[in-house]
Chains A and B, each alone.
Chain A
Amino acid sequence: MTKIVEVKDLSKHYGKVKAVDNVSFKLEEGKIYGLLGRNGAGKTTIMHMLTAQIFKTSGELKVFGEEPYENENVLNRICFIKESQKYPETFRVKDVLNVSPLFFPNWDKEFAMALVEDFRLPLKRRMKKLSRGMLSAVGIVVGLASRAPLTVFDEPYLGLDAVSRNLFYDRLLEDYGEHPRTIVLSTHLIDEVSQLLEHVLVIDGGKLLLDEEAETLRGNASNVVGAAAKVESFVSGKKVIHRAPFGGLMSATVLGQLSAQDRMSAVELGLEIGPVSLQQMVVHMAGGNGKSGEAAQ
């Protein structure tokens, strides 16, 4: 597999605030990645550094094998659509679509026009007059029609209604099937995208908590429910990322594959074992109490 992005010990500090702290990961060609985490976790900062829009404090950063800063080879192969994308005030929707091919060599005009129809975008309206949802839709059109080898969507569907969000997922998958490329979806609407993702990165407090294939991950955590004492004895020695006692009962989320023996003993103890959705997992790992984050490492 060709490595599209290689990040090693990447950090970004603002004074004493460590927005991104010693993060290392790799992105491979032709996969859909999910970059998940809470608001302010450092997702956007990482992507800004990948596209040389802000500068790293330390660490190594290679995109398509090269440093991205002022590097035409790298920059014209990336399309990064962020939630706070700014457009010149006087631009209309069609002006944005007209200048896009000047910066994205793989631009497909017909596809862009079809998407404009799908999202019912008014071509002649000025960008600053668009609603939040329409603004997001313009970003999605640019991101999809650019067909950039590395396409990054940062919270792409702010203000989009459910119909449009589904449309986005459908078009993304369809076009990805015909024109494979590397796609990074950064979002907190995890349940909605969890079926699309092939690989998951979870960030919290500027640190990388998880870097795992979505497939492995799906069977990699379980919810154990039963009498508190029995649950405790069952989970001892396992990685517990979340505990929720209620009354004499307890629900615990365990990380790691359960063996057949584990399942047998759970039955004997009268415990119920259920699956954990990706969203729940991220919530627990990046969740309210700081301890859970440490437990996961």
Chain B
Amino acid sequence: MSRVTGIVKTHLTDRLSWLMLPWIILGSSFAVNVIIGSLIDEEIKTGGLASIFIYMMVIGIISVGQTYPFLISFGARRKDYFLGTSATIALVSAATSIALLLVGYVERATDYWGIGLYFFNVPYLTDGSVLSQFWIFFMIMMNLFFCGFAIGAVYRKVGRNGLFGVFIVLALALTVAFYLITYFDKWGPVLDWVLDISLFELSNGLLVLTLVYVAASYGLLRKATV
């Protein structure tokens, strides 16, 4: 167990990447929106919040390449590396989600910053109770983090060409799926299904997908060399 904490601490030694950069990126996106919002009179609903989520995926990809060779050669077990990295991801996701909810509360309390800027409150995602808002933020973040982590793990295990291979297979699968939907003329029902997904179903779906990423990353890292 002590080793797992050691790995969490090692990750968080890089405070810039894990704790500061996400907010710097989100902050600059927010600043741009505030400037625009103060110049025009209309209500603004933006997707700027997405930046912090996408950043989480980026750090998921980068962290494996940066820390895996280092920690494994410092004598960490692969299992501990995996548990420690997952714990770090969960901690950062939870803390970031809570912070986002707090800022979202401030946004509502200040009547959308006085300029009608809906930045931290997004229709659909933040419609539910505080708990459901937290859950959906947390799940999206975990999902993207682990998606990045899985990509990093594929790269560690099979290298650049292997990673290309995985993406080619994924692209083929999507193409075939799209073709089949078109062929059987099912786009209508498919879109209806997508539009009908409730927040609860969405977060559950994300949870399942995240677990798939988790299993894949663990399987790959167990056999990855340095």
Contacts and interface: CB of A to CB of B under 8 A. Distances in A.
B77 interface: yes
Interface of B is mostly: helix
Contacts of B10: 99, 102
B38 interface: no
A48 B9 contact: no
B17 A102 contact: no
A70 interface: yes
Interface residues of A, number: 28
Contacts of B225: 48, 53-55
Interface in B64-110: 66-67, 69-80
A87 B14 CA distance: 12
B16 interface: yes
B27 interface: no
B3 A103 contact: yes
A88 B5 CA distance: 18
B14 A70 contact: no
Contact of A86 (B2, B6, B70, B222): B70
Interface stretch (A76-84, A159-167, A207-215, A235-243): A76-84
A48 B75 CA distance: 11
A188 B89 CA distance: 43
Given A53-B226, A89-B66, A91-B14, A103 B74 contact: yes
B70 to A, nearest CB: 5
A104 interface: yes
A75 B73 CA distance: 10
Contact of A70 (B2, B6, B66, B77): B77
A104 B70 CA distance: 14
B158 to A, nearest CB: 15
A98 B66 CA distance: 17
A178 interface: no
Contacts of B78: 70
A79 B74 CA distance: 7
A220 B14 CA distance: 53
B16 A103 contact: no
Given A53-B225, A102-B6, A102-B9, A76 B75 contact: yes
A100 B67 CA distance: 13
A95 interface: yes
B67 A75 contact: no
Contacts of A76: 3, 75
Nearest to B68: A86
A75 B226 contact: no
5 contacts: A70-B79, A72-B80, A99-B13, A99-B74, A103-B75
